[in-house]
Chain A
Amino acid sequence: MEAASIAHGGVHDGHGAEHHGPPPANRSSRAEPQLLGMFLFIISEIMVFGAFFTAYFFIRVSQGDPWPAHGTTLPVGVAGFNTAILVSSSFTVHWAEQSIKRGNRFGLKAGMLLTFLLGCSFLFIQINEYANIGFAPQDAAQQTIFYSLTGLHGAHVFIGLLLLLFVTIRSFRGHYSPEEHRGVEVPGIYWHFVDIMWLVVYTTVYIL
């Protein structure tokens, strides 16, 4: 990659530097590849959630049945407590990222470990909620879309937990520094996306 830069004869040392010729192939001149990748991935996942929300509103509005379905109740309180857990985990991952920016390795390790544990707690409570909610996804369209929408989010939480696990392990191995901590920042962005999406899901499914 350095050879490619030298071949173009330019000095690529930051924004505003002299550029001679076209930029390197397959590289955005405005965004770092890792951030661009996560940007595009999150945008595509927002579209997937959009499709599921479309199905949710279609089932809820077009059929005219009461929500939740007759004879069923949604555990609003438990889900609300779960919301608090997930929001807290966003604070801890932010703490971790801010810590490594300042060279505070203890803050990074503690923040990442707390984030991972809070995320696991969220998923565990969600699974427990599924086991005790009193209806199955195949019972009716309302039940199906409830499981589908919350389950889709749960799958995203699972992916996020995998990323957080990798970051936590690498944090304890001392892989990050104030100069190079993109590996903490990019999963952090994804985790905030998961949290924001849960706020939308919770407000729509449990409150509205």
Chain B
Amino acid sequence: MLNPLRSEAEAFRFLLYALAVAVVIIVIILAARAIF
């Protein structure tokens, strides 16, 4: 299991996952606002 507080490499990977999630959420919100 990924533990971002165990090493810098794992923290960086967690950041990449968080970035991907943030981008998906932002795209969904902006798309929803454009449609509705």
Listed in ascending order, the chain A residues whose CB lies under 8 Å from chain B are 35, 38-39, 42-43, 87, 90, 93-94, 97-98, 184-186, 188-189, 192-193, 195-196, 199-200, 202-203, 207-208
Is there contact, CB below 8 Å, between B8 and A189? yes
Q: How far is the CA of A203 from the CA of B5 in the complex (A)?
A: 23
Listed in ascending order, the chain B residues whose CB lies under 8 Å from chain A are 4-9, 11-12, 14-15, 18-19, 22, 25-26, 29-30
Q: How far is the CA of A30 from the CA of B6 in the complex (A)?
A: 11
Is there contact, CB below 8 Å, between B29 and A35? no
Is there contact, CB below 8 Å, between A189 and B22? no
Q: How far is the CA of A207 from the CA of B5 in the complex (A)?
A: 28
Is there contact, CB below 8 Å, between B11 and A193? yes
Is there contact, CB below 8 Å, between A90 and B15? yes
Interface of B is mostly: helix
Minimum distance in angstroms from B29 CB to a CB of chain A: 6
Minimum distance in angstroms from B16 CB to a CB of chain A: 9
Task: Give the nearest-CB partner of A94 in chain B.
Answer: B12
Minimum distance in angstroms from A41 CB to a CB of chain B: 10
| A contact residues around B29 at 8 Å (CB) | 207-208
Q: Which of A38, A90, A94 has a CB less than 8 Å from the CB of B5? A: A38
| A contact residues around B14 at 8 Å (CB) | 192, 196
Q: How far is the CA of A87 from the CA of B8 in the complex (A)?
A: 15
Supply 18 A–B pairs (Cβ within 8 Å), ascending by A. Answer: A35-B5, A35-B6, A35-B7, A39-B5, A39-B6, A42-B5, A94-B9, A97-B8, A98-B9, A184-B8, A185-B8, A189-B7, A192-B8, A192-B11, A193-B11, A199-B18, A200-B22, A207-B25
